[in-house]
Structure 1
Amino acid sequence: MSNSLTVALIQTSLIWENPEANRKYIEQKVNTINSVDLIVLPEMFTSGFTMNASEVAETMDGKTISWLKDLARLKQAAIVGSLVISENNTYYNRLVCVEPSGKISQYDKRHTFTLAGEHKVYTAGTDKLILDYKGWKICPMVCYDLRFPVWARNIEDYDLLLYVANWPKVRIDAWDTLLKARSVENMAYCIGVNRVGLDGNNYEYSGHSAAYDVLGNRIDSIPESKEAIENITLEKEHIKKYREKLGFLKDRDSFNLKA
């Protein structure tokens, strides 16, 4: 168990529907990172936010998962991001967390983005994931999930809420506002990693990747609209201090979410 967790946020452009090129491009960035516990990539980091699932889909035994295992072992850090996975004749926007040991945890995006027709291509997940990594409880989610606070509600006393995204510039104010709100209402660190650049549909992405502490204070200095890598160190003592002092989570409403 570690009292601190160092997280590398990779805000990057993506090469449209080209997994091999994206793996090479991202690997160059990962190779510049040293001495971190967790590396975070954007949503659909092998392809961009595409509805052409058949063009880019892989399996859990495919090249990207094997590549992630090798990278995680080499860097001795867990790596998180989402990609298009084909399984049982169904497509998923699947977030994976690959640890240095080779252990893989997965989360299928719960809220598919109906505005873009994601629900017509990808099957939505039903299960929330809480990772236990180095003594830290981490709740990873994907992009559109950010708009739904009930799904992210901190009933597990997790330490870190994590979003990977392809969130377009046109709605970036909502991204900024909701990331901060999720940290405050859940009394947890909240990190969001978004892409930059143009995709194959000519949508523009302006990044705004960010990290917030349990009080909603921003603790990173990632620039907007530019590729960037920044390491952020999170502290268990910060969480403990303010949860004990303020006690807001003790007053949360009691209810169950049904699928």
Structure 2
Amino acid sequence: LLDTVSIFTFTSLKACQRMLELARAVRVCPSAAPAVAPLIVSLGAQYVWFVATHVAASAVTVPLYDDANVKEAVRDSARFVEASAFALGCPDGFPAYPNAPCHAWKGSAGEPAALYAARERSTALGSLEAVVQTQHLCQKSISLLLDADALDRTTTDMQHVSTVASFCTQYGFRRLSLNLCSPEVMAAAIDKGKWDEKQAVGGDGSALSRYAKDTFFALHDKLKRLGSEHGSSRPIQRILQWVVYNLCYGIVDGATRVRRWSDSGRHAFHRAG
């Protein structure tokens, strides 16, 4: 999961390292468990909130916990994660995380800058899973040293962190894939071509089939090359999964438009009605 861009890899590894060190210290000094548990939560929350504000936020002026397009459960968890992230204060010289999403990845799939930006952000999103998993492992290792109230509180707090991380992962990968290959672009291209039913369905030689395959394979090759430069590329595989979904959605939408407005399509819709 932590396999490409150094700044995100370094930061997430450090967060995991600190959480593991705290859990190890509790095994040596069990009485410290109630005080250490909130620190483990806060370390994970800091990294999750950083990714949420810089990668997954939908707008500069709207925090995640105030975004009307986000489910209430996610907004509630986001409020907790922000408070927990700053519970220990900020390091000297490091500003509080503003709601400053990076939109540099926006652009056509053929632009190298957009592809590199997508790789960076996919690494940040992918690393969320490792941080959350490490946090849960640390909690399990000290759970027997916590009383019932402290354990319930820690479990609830970590669930908030997991909720925000899951939202950021799904929403972030979706945004990345949409900027690289939008279903609307595919649908509009199909509609503009005004292919009839015989061209739009079946046959590897059809214009629609060739266009879809060429679009996907060109983007696939470029993303795979970026991933292979740094070894494993699981985050990029996640983007490709969404790209496939976008292509399929665009093809269905585009074919529907063609059938709806072509002569044969109008007759087919009339008969179906």
If the length of structure 2 is used for normalisation, what is the TM-score?
0.23
Q: Which is bigger in relative contact order (C-alpha 8 A, separation at least 6)?
A: 2
If the length of structure 1 is used for normalisation, what is the TM-score?
0.24
> Which has the larger strand fraction?
1
